[in-house]
Amino acid sequence: MDKDRDGGWCGHGRGRGRPRAHRMIRGGTAFRCFGPLCGQPEEVVPLRPEEVEVLRLVDLEGLDQTAAAESMGISRKTLWRDLHRARRKVADALVHGKAIRIAGCRRQEEDGCPEVDDPEE
């Protein structure tokens, strides 16, 4: 249940277990895919937009977890889980030379994502 890309609710379809809480993502974050410059990464680490937002609020903006959780409209425990998961994914990608693909990458809509434009797919 995506609202708008510049600051709306971001939810995901239902899977097993309890449905994910909706997270408020603010700002005009340009989501992209990242990868190592040397060679072709064999594996891709997927990041959700809300995980990028958590990293932005806590690690880049310097908000404490309580303020960041309030900003996103979620509990502090939920924010902590998302933050822990996002940091682990980014560390895994950096240490093991994996690419990072952020769900909802805007390059797919704007100037073309190399992975989407691949004619072999």
Class of the CATH domain delimited by 31-108: mainly alpha
The yes-or-no verdict on residue 36 having pLDDT over 90 is no
Is this structure's pTM higher than 0.95? no
Q: What are phi and psi of 23, to 5 degrees?
A: -115, 140
> What is the percent of the chain where pLDDT is above 70?
62
Distances (CA, A) of 66 to 11, 72, 103, 118, 119: 21, 10, 25, 42, 46
Tens-digit pLDDT profile for residues 64-120: 999 999 999 999 999 999 999 999 999 999 999 999 998 875 544 555 454 443 333
* Range 105-113 contact pairs with CB under 8 angstroms and sequence separation of 24 or more: 105/31, 105/32, 105/33, 106/5, 106/30, 106/31, 106/32, 107/32, 107/33, 113/33
**The predicted structure's pLDDT at residue 69:** 96
CB 75 within 8 A of CB 24: no
**The predicted structure's pLDDT at residue 103:** 83
> What is the percent of the chain where pLDDT is above 90?
47
Give 3-state DSSP helix, strand, coil % of the chain, rounded to 5. Answer: 35, 10, 50
Q: What is the dihedral of CA 72, 73, 78, 82, to 10 degrees?
A: -20
Instruction: Return the closest-CA partner of residue 87 out of 65, 119, 108, 107.
Output: 65
Going from N- to C-terminal start, the domains of the chain cover: 31-108
